[in-house]
Amino acid sequence: MRIVLSGGGTGGHIYPAVAVARQLEAEEGDTAFLYIGGSRGLESKLVPQENLPFKSIDITGFRRKLSMDNVKTVMRFLKGVKASKIMLKEFKPDVVIGTGGYVCGPVVYAASRLGIPTLIHEQNAVPGLTNRFLSRYADTVAVSFEGMESAFPACKHVIYTGNPRATTVATASPQKGFASLGIPEGSTIVLIVGGSGGAKAINNAMIEMVPFLGKGKGVHYVYVTGDAYFEATRKEVSQTLGELPNWIHVLPYIHNMPEVLACTSLIVNRAGASFLAEITALGIPSVLIPSPNVTNNHQEVNARQLERSGAAVVLLEKDLTGQAMFEAIQQIIGVEAVHRKMSVASLSLGKRDSAAVVVHELRRLAGKKTKNS
């Protein structure tokens, strides 16, 4: 098959597309790919690192308030559609899949106008603006949360697939995770991460939490700060502890996140949908701190789904302090029965075959392919 992938802005939109590509490679070795992303987005850096052919268009998202920038966005969208049509006619894909982010808008819309079968994947419990718009034109909408099918009434074919990223982490090696961190196998690891770019509020709480950590002995704490916050966070932690002990690890970024997750006992994180798919695929209990700065507060909606199932504790950013974070961690990691119960609940929510389900749907759509206009 020939597949065009599109998704961008955050790792939560990019990595599901990469997961689908890897599943296709495993199932069909002769698949050809083209990834169309934004020239300014994180995908322009991450996708080439994944050895996927990458082309870009210049596109931005809409402002929430009325603004002249939105006029420019409409113009960029129209130019993006035109550029996408040229790329699609040249590549001749069997199917186009969009995994979220505003870059998918012109790409998937252009494909639909050319008669190319399209699939869009919605990771969050609350549909994004781009996917709501595209659902009118897509042949299939795939959703990550069971029961979300009714959120896309404009599309005739909506299916529950889970998040393809879950498949990537389900087979990851915990041994490689321990080795990459320099932590002995079998150790208890609490991973604290604020997303691919880091989060200032979570980093501040990590710094505030340091004086409490001696009370939770036998645990390795891994702080992932994001590149922008690394130096300042490491400096603050070092000033409190002196030379960093071997049970606290401060890192700017983790490139082998599936392997690190596979050896993690508890995670403290935002509530982006792709990350939630990863941790439930592995049955990891979590303390979730939803970002308050996202459209429709969708991260809190995501987090509450895990909380209701007993897989997570939700700590809102307005209540976030170092002590509150430490106490939430200790309530889980310090009580074996609680940790075990939450782990079982987390695993029950995981859908480990998500990428294979999406690939099955892509094959079905490829069989319906019409001649490009």
User: Domains (ranges, CATH) in the chain?
Assistant: 2-163+352-366 (3.40.50.2000), 169-349 (3.40.50.2000)
Q: Is the dihedral of CA 165, 278, 8, 255 positive or negative?
A: negative
Q: Is the pLDDT of residue 373 over 50?
A: no
Q: Mind listing the pLDDT tens digit for each residue in 154-207? A: 999 999 999 999 998 998 999 999 999 999 999 999 999 987 788 999 999 999
Percent of the chain with pLDDT over 70: 95
Name the band, by pLDDT with cuts 50, 70 and 90, for residue 232.
very high
Is 11 annotated among the ligand-binding residues? Answer: yes
Cα angle 348, 351, 352; round to 5 = 115
What is the predicted pLDDT for the residue at 181?
Answer: 96
What is the predicted pLDDT for the residue at 274?
Answer: 86
What is the predicted pLDDT for the residue at 179?
Answer: 97
Query: Over 134-185, what HEC string results?
Result: HCCCCCEEEECCCCHHHHCCCCCCEEECCCCHHHHHHCCCHHHHHHHHCCCC
Q: Mind listing the pLDDT tens digit for each residue in 319-351? A: 999 999 999 999 999 899 999 999 999 999 988
Q: Is the pLDDT of residue 76 over 90?
A: no
Measured distance CA(357)–CA(314) in Å, rounded: 30
Is 10 annotated among the ligand-binding residues? Answer: yes
What is the CB neighbour count within 10 angstroms for residue 343? 18
Is 124 annotated among the ligand-binding residues? Answer: yes
Is 73 annotated among the ligand-binding residues? Answer: no
- What is the β-pairing status of strands 140-143 and 312-314? unpaired
Is 331 annotated among the ligand-binding residues? Answer: no
Contact in structure between 36 and 109 (CB atoms under 8 Å): no
Is 225 annotated among the ligand-binding residues? Answer: no
Cα angle 43, 77, 368; round to 5 = 75
Name the band, by pLDDT with cuts 50, 70 and 90, for residue 369.
low
Average pLDDT over residues 122-135: 90
Is 61 annotated among the ligand-binding residues? Answer: no
Measured distance CA(132)–CA(120) in Å, rounded: 10
Measured distance CA(160)–CA(97) in Å, rounded: 15
Across 293-306, b (16+ Cβ under 10 Å) vs e yields: ebeeebbbbbbbbb
